[in-house]
A and B are shown apart, each in its own frame.
Chain A
Amino acid sequence: MYRIRFHARGGQGIKTASRILGTAFFLEGYEVQDSPRYGAERRGAPIFAYVRASKKIINERGIINKPDLVIVTDDSLLLLPIAGVLLGVTERTVLLIATDETTEVWKKRLNLQGLVLSISTQAAVESHAGLPLLGVACVGAAAQLAGAISKSALEEAIHEQLQPLGKVIVEESLAAAMAAYDQMEPYARCTTEREDPSADSYESPHWIDLPFEDARTSAPYIHAAATTFNVKTGVWRTMRPVIDLKQCNRCALCHIYCPDGVISLDAKGYPQIDYQHCKGCLICLLQCPTHAIDAIPEHGQEGEIS
C-alpha cells in the first residue's frame, strides 16, 4: 500500500491536490482512500491530507503514522512542531518540499537520513493570478515518484477534479503538474510500498490507568477568558508577533505572506500588524529575512490592545 501525506496551510488547495492524486491512482486501478484533516477551519492554519492506494481493499483508516511519501507545499511548516510534518518520517520516507532552499540545507537542518526532493517555488508554473501552482505540481511529482500513475491518468484526474473551476485553471494546472512530473523523472519509483512488520512482535502501547484529578485540574476551563473585551474576535493567539521597526528593511514579505491580510504598510512602507484580527500563525516571523519579528507570549498583553 502507498501511504502519502500532504502538509500545507489552510487555503493552499491541499484537499484538492490530495483528491487529484487519489483520483489518478483510482484511474490506474487502485483501491483508494483520501481525506483531508483540519480543526477549526482557519486560513493559514496547518492542515494535512492523506492518500492511501493499494491493489487490495483498504481497511486502515485515519492518520498515516508511517508515510512512504510526505509532501510539504509550505516550507515554513517544517519548522513548526505542531504541524507534525516529520511524524513517522524514517530513512525510507521520501520528503518532497516546495522550497527555494536547497535540499541539502533541509537535510542538514532537520537531520534527515532519507531522500529529500524539492520543487522550486520560484520556477513553478504560475496561475493567471500570479500565484505558484504548488499543490498540483506536487501531485505531478508524487505521481512520478510512486511510478504507478501514467501521464494520461494524471491528466484525466486533473480534468475531473478541476473542471468546475474553469478551463483556464485546468490548463494551468496541467502545465504545472506535467512540468513537475518530468522534473522528477530521475527519481521515478523512489517511493515504494512499505512491507508492514509482522504482528508477531510489536511494541506494547504504554497504557496507563488515568488517575483521578479534582475539578480544579480536570475541568476544561480557559483561564485567559473574556478576551473579547480587548479584541473584537477574541484572542486566537498564544504567541504574538511583534515587529522591531529598527531592524525592518521594508521588504514587505510579511505583508505579502500574511494569510489573513492583517499586515498593512504605512506611508513609509513599514509594516503594521492589526492585532484585532491577527491569529498568531507566525508566518510573518518565519518569512522575515532580517529577523525583525519576534514572538512574545500573548498572556498579559491583552490590555495593551485598544
Chain B
Amino acid sequence: MTRKLITGNGAAAWGARLARAEYIPAFPITPQTEIIETLAQWIDEGQIDSRMTTLESEHSMITTAGAAATTGVRTFAATSSQGLLYGMEMIYTVAGWRAPFVLVNVSRALSAPVTLEPDHNDVLAARDSGFLQIHCATCQEVLDSVLLAYRLGEDEKVRLPVIVNLDGFYLSFTREPVEIPDDKKVDQFLPPYDPGETRFRAGDPISQGVIVLGGSQYSYFRYETHLASLNALEVFEEASKEFEELFGRSYRAVEEYRTEDAEVIFFMMGSFATKAKDAVDRLRSVGRKVGLLRPRLIRPFPIEAIISAVAGKKGIAVIDQNLSLGKGGILYTELASALYSMTDKPVLVSFIGGLGGRDITREEFYEMVAVTMKAIETGKAPPPRLLYSKEELMQMKGLQSIARVEQRKGRGKR
C-alpha cells in the first residue's frame, strides 16, 4: 500500500486497474476525461491486461459496456456531463438488461448556457434509470467506490450497473493524498465476476432486447429491477464492512459527521460536502451544535439510515447543487418525501448553491445555520434560497449592458 498525490481522475483509473477491469469501451473525445487517457497509457505500457475499444459516441459506449457485461467480462467505462446525457437512452436500457458494470461520471453542469464546472443535474438525470449511484467527496473515496461498486453491482441479489460520481475540477483535476490499496487484498475483496446462469454466450444465444406488450409483464420486469436496486442497501452494508476490515476505511451509505448531539445539520452530497465539514468544525469550536449528513448512495436512497440519523435533530439545511427547473432542489424533494411519515420531523430549509461550480463560502455555511436556527425558533421554513449575492447580480448587469451594445450593433447591421 502506498500513499501518493493523485487526481480524482487518476483515482478512478486506479479503481478500474485494481478491479482488474478487463474491457474498457470508450468514447475518446470531449467530454471524455483523463480517466480513459490514463487507462489507455497503462494498456499501452503493458501495465494492465485490459482491452480498450474506442466508440463513436457515448450511446454506443454504454451499449457496448452493457453487452460486454452480460458475457461476464468485468467492464469499466467513464463519461462526463453532456456525454452521459447523450448516452441516456442506453443508460435506461442496459440497466434493464441487468448488466453489472461501473460507469464513472465526472459531474459538470449542463448546457445551456455551456459551462465547465460541476453541479449534479447531469448525474441526477440518470436517477430513475436503474443504475445505482455512489457519490464521492474525496479522491480516496473515488478509488474505493469503484471497488465497492463492482461488489455491489455484481452481487446476485443486485445485478445492476453502477455510476460512481465525482465532481469536475473539485475532484477530477484536484490532487490529494490517496492510499493505493494492495492488489492482493483487492483481489480478495473483489474476486473475478461470475454471472453464472445469466452469462451470455455466442454459442448459446439469448436475446436481451425483449418486447413485452400489455403492461403486465412490463410491470413485473421493472418492479423486479426496482427490488434489486433496493437490495443494494443491504449488500452495500455488508461490502463496506468487509472493505473496512481489509482496508481500514469505513463507507456507510450515509456519512454522519459530528451529528451525534447536533441540533442543525447540513444535508448535501458530493465534494462540496467537505466544505461543509470545514464549516462544522469551525462552528463546533465556538460551541454551535452542528453536523453534516452526506448520502453516498443516492440510488438506492438509504431512507432508513437517514431517518435514524436525523431523529432528534431540530433543523436541516438541505443544500442542493442541482435544480429541477419548475420544482426546486432534488435532494430536498427526496429528503422531504423520506421524512414525511416521521413524527417530530426536523424543519427542512432548502438552499440551492454551487450551480455551475459557483463557490459556497464558509460565511454562507454559517449563514445557512443561522437561517435554519431561525426557522426552528419560528417553526416555519423560509422559501427556498438561491445562494446568489447582490454583488453577483451587479456583475451580471454589467455584462448585460455590454450585450445590449452588441445587440444594437447587430440589429443595425441586419
Interface of A is mostly: loop
Q: Flag if A26 contacts B387 (CB, 8 Å).
A: no
- Which listed residue, A65, A210, A223, touches B361 by the CB 8 Å rule? A65
Q: Is B366 an interface residue (CB 8 A)?
A: yes
Please report the total number of B residues contacting A with Cβ < 8 Å. 50
A-B interface, 4 closest residue pairs, ranked by CB to CB distance from nearest: A59-B278, A223-B407, A220-B113, A35-B174
Mark out the residues of chain A between 183 and 237 whose CB falls within 8 Å of any chain B CB in the assembled complex: 196, 198-200, 202-208, 210, 217, 220-225
Residues of chain B within 8 A (CB-CB) of A37 are 169, 173
The CA-CA distance from A62 to B405 in the complex, in Å, is 34
Select the stretch in B180-188, B282-290, B302-310, B372-380 that faces chain A. Answer: B282-290
Q: Is A304 an interface residue (CB 8 A)?
A: no
Q: Is B124 an interface residue (CB 8 A)?
A: no
Contacts A61-B274, A196-B282; A207 near B389 (Cβ below 8 A): yes
The CA-CA distance from A39 to B173 in the complex, in Å, is 13
Max count, chain A CB within 10 A of own CB: residue among B5, B285, B393: B5
Q: Flag if A224 contacts B169 (CB, 8 Å).
A: no
Q: Is A250 an interface residue (CB 8 A)?
A: no
- Which listed residue, A32, A202, A208, A217, touches B176 by the CB 8 Å rule? A32
- A295 to nearest B CB, angstroms? 15
Q: Flag if A205 contacts B363 (CB, 8 Å).
A: yes
The CA-CA distance from A300 to B408 in the complex, in Å, is 10
- Which listed residue, B113, B175, B357, B406, touches A34 by the CB 8 Å rule? B175
Residues of chain B within 8 A (CB-CB) of A200 are 286
Q: Is A280 an interface residue (CB 8 A)?
A: no
Residues of chain A within 8 A (CB-CB) of B364 are 205
Where the two chains meet, the residues of A that have a C-beta atom closer than 8 Å to any C-beta of B are 19, 22-23, 26, 31-37, 39-40, 58-63, 65, 196, 198-200, 202-208, 210, 217, 220-225, 238, 299-300
- A280 to nearest B CB, angstroms? 14
Q: Is B409 an interface residue (CB 8 A)?
A: yes
Q: Flag if B361 contacts A199 (CB, 8 Å).
A: no
Q: Flag if B278 contacts A207 (CB, 8 Å).
A: no
Q: Flag if A206 contacts B390 (CB, 8 Å).
A: yes
The CA-CA distance from A58 to B391 in the complex, in Å, is 29
Q: Is B272 an interface residue (CB 8 A)?
A: yes
Residues of chain A within 8 A (CB-CB) of B388 are 207-208, 210
Contacts A203-B363, A205-B361, A220-B113; A62 near B407 (Cβ below 8 A): no
Q: Is B277 an interface residue (CB 8 A)?
A: yes
The CA-CA distance from A238 to B403 in the complex, in Å, is 11
Q: Flag if A61 contacts B282 (CB, 8 Å).
A: no
Residues of chain A within 8 A (CB-CB) of B385 are 207
Q: Flag if A61 contacts B405 (CB, 8 Å).
A: no
The CA-CA distance from A60 to B402 in the complex, in Å, is 35
13 new A-B contacts, CB < 8 A, other than A37-B169, A60-B274, A196-B282, are A59-B277, A62-B275, A62-B357, A198-B285, A205-B387, A206-B389, A207-B385, A208-B388, A208-B390, A223-B403, A223-B404, A223-B407, A300-B409
The CA-CA distance from A35 to B172 in the complex, in Å, is 9
Which B residue sits closest to A50, measured CB to CB? Answer: B174
Residues of chain A within 8 A (CB-CB) of B173 are 35-37
Q: Flag if A299 contacts B177 (CB, 8 Å).
A: no
- Which listed residue, A22, A206, A224, touches B406 by the CB 8 Å rule? A224
Q: Is B281 an interface residue (CB 8 A)?
A: yes
Q: Flag if B400 contacts A32 (CB, 8 Å).
A: no
The CA-CA distance from A210 to B389 in the complex, in Å, is 9
The CA-CA distance from A126 to B274 in the complex, in Å, is 41
Q: Flag if B5 contacts A34 (CB, 8 Å).
A: yes
- A146 to nearest B CB, angstroms? 17
Q: Flag if A223 contacts B406 (CB, 8 Å).
A: yes
Residues of chain B within 8 A (CB-CB) of A238 are 402
Residues of chain A within 8 A (CB-CB) of B393 are 208, 210
- A232 to nearest B CB, angstroms? 20
Q: Flag if B175 contacts A33 (CB, 8 Å).
A: yes
- A209 to nearest B CB, angstroms? 8
